[in-house]
Amino acid sequence: MQKPKRKDAAPSAAVKVRDGAAVRPRPRPRRPHALYTPAEVEEIFRRFAVQRPEPKGELEHVNAFTLLVAVVLSAQATDAGVNKATQALFKAADTPQKMVALGEEAVGEMIRTIGLWRAKAKNVIALSQALLRDHGGAVPDDREALVKLPGVGRKTANVVLNMAFGQPTMAVDTHIFRIGNRLGLAPGKTPEQVEAGLVRIIPQKYMRHAHHWLILHGRYVCKARKPECPRCVIADICKAAEKTTDIPAPLVEIAPVPDAVAEDVG
């Protein structure tokens, strides 16, 4: 027979006391989970690897510094538009020293066709100065150092770490954020949540190129306005509510899109 609880018994450890009253803590929100089994995730990225064995970013650059500048300029702009603007810019300045010597006004004139060009020109000069002042003119291979540079956020840092230094990072842009949620591959309300979800489920052997595969898939197949499901090589695995077919496209290697027609179509 159980003994009756004493009326003056202290609350359990899980219960906090506030203003003389016991208050139970709110349950932690559950982290959204992928809708796919590990075997399904493995197959998705195996097919992407067959389709594009060596995926490349579409921003033109000649070294780590020009890559960093190009990614900063690409915010709210198409890759094609950035490439047109940086052709002359990178011929004139492909190092932080040359960029600072060029000056903010000249940089602005060269990138006027890009959205928010005034603010971006200011950031390009400021980050060039910071590289010279704090890093001897070299682009650091450390995320914490990169995000301290003017105009550089986590996504930009991840792109540079991946493309310039070969680190297995996941740079979540608008395409990857859409795919992570649309497919239920890595649901999340923020880019950071989607990034964490993808890093958690993608096999390590695929992480080197995973962010490029997802970006290119979102740019050319799983488009924002109207996904082209008949062209999708993972249509039979995909769990997106709006998909229009369960028949996957033929799994063949495809050639990279020429720079002249490469465009970020949102």
Query: 12-22, pLDDT tens digit by residue?
Result: 445 555 555 55
Residues 208-213, mean pLDDT to the nearest whole number: 94
177 DSSP 8-state letter: H
Task: State which residues form the domain around 224.
Answer: 38-56+169-231
- Look up the CATH number of the domain holding residue 189: 1.10.1670.10
Active-site residues: which are they? Answer: 155, 173
Of 175, 216, 201, nearest to 54 (Cα)? 216
- Tokens in use for 125? 């000069």
Question: Are 102 and 191 in the same domain?
Answer: no
Q: Which of 19-23, 118-122, 149-153, 218-222 has the lowest mean pLDDT?
A: 19-23
- Look up the CATH number of the domain holding residue 90: 1.10.340.30
Cα distance from N-terminal residue to C-terminal residue, the chain: 68
Question: Are 130 and 186 in the same domain?
Answer: no
Question: Are 46 and 92 in the same domain?
Answer: no
Residues 34-62, mean pLDDT to the nearest whole number: 94
Question: Are 190 and 106 in the same domain?
Answer: no
Rounded-to-integer distance, Cα 218 and Cα 55, Å:
14
Rounded-to-integer distance, Cα 121 and Cα 250, Å:
44
Question: Are 154 and 75 in the same domain?
Answer: yes
> Which residue shows structure tokens 């906090």?
16
CB distance 151 to 126 below 8 Å: yes
Residues 6-16, mean pLDDT to the nearest whole number: 50
> What are the two backbone dihedrals, phi and then psi, of residue 23, each rounded to the nearest 5 degrees?
-125, 120
pLDDT on residue 81: 93
Positions of E strands within the chain: 16-18, 21-23
Question: Are 76 and 126 in the same domain?
Answer: yes
Please check the confidence at residue 191 and state whether its pLDDT lies above 90: yes
Please check the confidence at residue 255 and state whether its pLDDT lies above 80: no
Domain count for the chain: 2
Number of neighbours of residue 106 by Cβ within 10 angstroms: 16
Rounded-to-integer distance, Cα 133 and Cα 78, Å:
31
Please check the confidence at residue 204 and state whether its pLDDT lies above 80: yes
Average pLDDT, the chain: 88
Q: Residue 131: inside a domain, yes or no?
A: yes
Question: Are 159 and 180 in the same domain?
Answer: no
Q: Residue 136: inside a domain, yes or no?
A: yes
> Which residue shows structure tokens 């650091």?
140
Question: Are 161 and 173 in the same domain?
Answer: no
> What are the two backbone dihedrals, phi and then psi, of residue 37, each rounded to the nearest 5 degrees?
-75, 160
pLDDT on residue 264: 41
Angle at the Cα of 220 (from 215 to 221), degrees rounded to 5? 95
Name the band, by pLDDT with cuts 50, 70 and 90, for residue 57: confident
* C-alpha dihedral sign at 218, 165, 51, 62: positive
Q: Which of 16-20, 94-98, 206-210, 232-236 has the lowest mean pLDDT?
A: 16-20
Question: Are 102 and 138 in the same domain?
Answer: yes
Please check the confidence at residue 128 and state whether its pLDDT lies above 50: yes
pLDDT on residue 39: 97
Name the band, by pLDDT with cuts 50, 70 and 90, for residue 259: very low
Q: Which of 85-89, 153-157, 254-258 has the lowest mean pLDDT?
A: 254-258
Question: Are 48 and 70 in the same domain?
Answer: no
CB distance 198 to 176 below 8 Å: yes
Q: What are 132-169's pLDDT values in tens digits?
A: 999 999 999 999 999 999 999 999 999 999 999 999 99
